[in-house]
Amino acid sequence: MEFIDLKAQYRRLEKSIQTRLNKVMQSAQFIMGPEVEELESALAARVGAQHCISCASGTDALLLALMTLGIGSEDEVITSPFTFIATGEMIALIGAKPVFVDIDSRTYNLDPKLLERAVTSRTRAIMPVALYGQCAEMDAINSVAAKHKLPVIEDAAQSFGATYKGRQSCNLSAIGCTSFFPSKPLGCYGDGGACFTNDDQLAAIMRQTRNHGQDGRYHHVRLGFNGRLDTMQAAVLLAKLEVFDEELRCRNEIAQRYSSMLGEAVCVPYIENHNQSAWAQYTVRVPNRAEVQRSLHEGGIPTAVHYPKPVHLQPVFANLRLSEGSFPISEKASEEVLSLPMHPYMSQSDLANVANALRNALNSVVSLELR
Ligand SMILES: Cc1ncc(COP(=O)(O)O)c(C=O)c1O
């Protein structure tokens, strides 16, 4: 069994992906070919944003957003400590200080109730993450941001396709950033990402920044970098976009089935009524995770932990002097979360096998503890 079965998706889309890739190879427009613009228009339309600026990865999307807002040394950016390293990493890479706010224990997203007290005179932006595919409480976050005149950057690397109160993730704040890493809900065949905005000026700066700060050929008006999405990846994404809505429906059905099979046995994902998750991950919480994971592995069931160590406790952030206990909800989550196989091509029998194996693993862990 695969954790995410990209091969099954390829078998389905082989013809259209091959046709599109062949076209790129025949045209030899590997950098900024017409497919890049076609993809940007399609993605902007899907999200309902004025602008989509594609780029080389989700990490670059965050970097582009932060650079475009002019954030740098002496500045602070508020974010979640329970995320992939890139979120805090890009804040620190541009010389700013990541300021963490603990998460809500049910959604794993930045807790807006704790947000305001983290704002200081140095705060320059708020960067919530849509973990596992579910948007953070964007209205509450945006209203704190508006009060302090701060831009919000949504780290929507895991939530392309999700909705919040009927609005699309990536279009819920000043800038939305997503990732097309292969295992993401909309993934390419390498690295890729995109920023979305409704602000013409921010869009223009992001377009320049991802291409060495150029406003015309070999005329550089700002510092930038090589952060372009390549044409081959755009071609793959255009093919995958055709089936994306159907895949989202399948992911959602699989998540519902998992939850009905496992709800009694384990803490299953909690999705707010006003949210629709893109189900980048289906993540449960289990006691004695290492044992449960080992037992599943022995039964041929792959699992993953997103993420075993919160960002504030990573060695790279030792300089922030945030000890254990600083963000207890994130720390507890990092000890208990376990992601199960989740992809749109999962069969009913695989789903049932995972659910049964997890129930058995939990029973044996509990009986071991009782001995
Ligand atoms: C929350 C979050 N932010 C940022 C990233 C970075 O995206 P990429 O791997 O495309 O650089 C990821 C990727 O896993 C992510 O999950």
Look at the block and give the residue holding tokens 């295992």.
183
For the CA of 86, the closest atom of ligand 1 is: 4
DSSP H helices in the chain: 6-27, 34-47, 58-68, 86-93, 138-147, 200-209, 231-262, 289-298, 328-336, 348-370
For a pocket test of ligand 1, which of 60, 64, 129, 179 has the largest count of ligand atoms closer than 8 A to its C-beta? 179
- Cα(84) to ligand 1 centroid in Å equals 6
Per-residue H/E/C for 104-122: CCCCCCECHHHCHHHCCCC
Cis before 132 (ω within 30):
no
Dist. CA 152–CA 150, nearest whole Å:
7
- Nearest CA, atom 12, ligand 1: 157
**Structure confidence at residue 366 (pLDDT):** 67
How far apart, in Å, are the Cα atoms of 274 and each of 155, 165, 166, 168, 263?
Answer: 19, 5, 7, 12, 20
Which H/E stretch holds residue 284? strand 282-285
Distance 83 CA to ligand 1 centre (A): 9
Q: What is the C-alpha to C-alpha distance for residues 206 and 228, in angstroms, rounded to an integer? A: 11
Measured in Å, residue 249 CA sits from the centre of ligand 1 at 23
Are 358 and 265 within 8 A, CB to CB? yes
Which mutation among 129, 158, 279 tests ligand 1's pocket best, with the greatest number of atoms within 8 A of CB?
A: 158
pLDDT at 370: 58
Residues whose CB falls within 8 Å of the CB of residue 52, separated by 6 or more in sequence, listed in order: 39, 40, 41, 43, 44, 194, 195, 196
pLDDT at site 367: 67
From first to last of the 371 residues of the chain, give the pLDDT tens digit.
999 999 999 999 999 999 999 999 999 999 999 999 999 999 999 999 999 999 999 999 999 999 999 999 999 999 999 999 999 999 999 999 999 999 999 999 999 999 999 999 999 999 999 999 999 999 999 999 999 999 999 999 999 999 999 999 999 999 999 999 999 999 999 999 999 999 999 999 999 999 999 999 999 999 999 999 999 999 999 999 999 999 999 999 999 999 999 999 999 999 999 999 999 999 999 999 999 999 999 999 999 999 999 999 999 999 999 999 999 999 999 999 999 999 999 999 999 999 999 999 998 876 666 55
- Angstrom CA distances, 343 to 8, 26, 185, 252, 279, stand at 10, 32, 8, 10, 9
| Ligand 1 center to 101 CA (angstroms) | 19
Q: Distance between CA 84 and CA 305 in Å, rounded?
A: 11
- Asked whether 333 and 108 are in contact (CB, 8 A), the reply is yes
Cα-flanking dihedrals φ and ψ of residue 125, to 5°?
-165, 160
In ligand 1, the atom with minimum distance to the C-alpha of 179 is: 10
Residue identifier of the C-alpha nearest atom 7 of ligand 1: 58
Tokens of 21: 């890739």
Which of 84, 159, 225, 306 has the most ligand 1 atoms within 8 A of CB, as the residue to mutate? 84
Burial class (CB in 10 A: 0-12, 13-18, 19+), 125: buried
Distance 59 CA to ligand 1 centre (A): 6
Calpha distance 286→364 (Å, rounded)? 13
Pocket test for ligand 1, best of 59, 79, 90, 233 (most atoms within 8 A of CB): 59
Long-range contacts of 67-71 (CB under 8 A, 24+ apart): 67/94, 67/209, 67/223, 67/224, 68/175, 68/202, 68/205, 68/206, 68/209, 69/124, 69/125, 69/151, 69/153, 69/174, 69/175, 69/202, 71/96, 71/124, 71/125
Give distance in angstroms: CA of 248 to centre of ligand 1. Answer: 19
The backbone torsions φ and ψ at residue 163, rounded to the nearest 5 degrees and listed phi first, read -125, 150
CA distance 163 to 176: 13
Site to substitute for ligand 1 among 64, 85, 181, most atoms within 8 A of C-beta: 181
Distance 216 CA to ligand 1 centre (A): 30
Q: List, in order, residues 6 or more apart from 355 with CB less than 8 Å away.
A: 258, 261, 262
pTM over 0.95: yes
**Protein residues with CB under 6 Å of any ligand 1 atom:** 57-59, 83-84, 86-87, 129, 155, 157-158, 179, 181, 191, 193
Angle made by CA atoms 362, 354, 237, in degrees to the nearest 5: 135
Residue 127 sits at φ, ψ, to 5 deg, of -125, 85
Taking the CA of residue 57 as reference, the ligand 1 atom at the shortest distance is: 10
Going from the Cα of 136 to the center of ligand 1, the distance in angstroms, rounded, reads 16
Expressed in angstroms, the distance from the first to the final Cα of the chain is: 32
For residue 20 the two structure tokens come to 């599109």
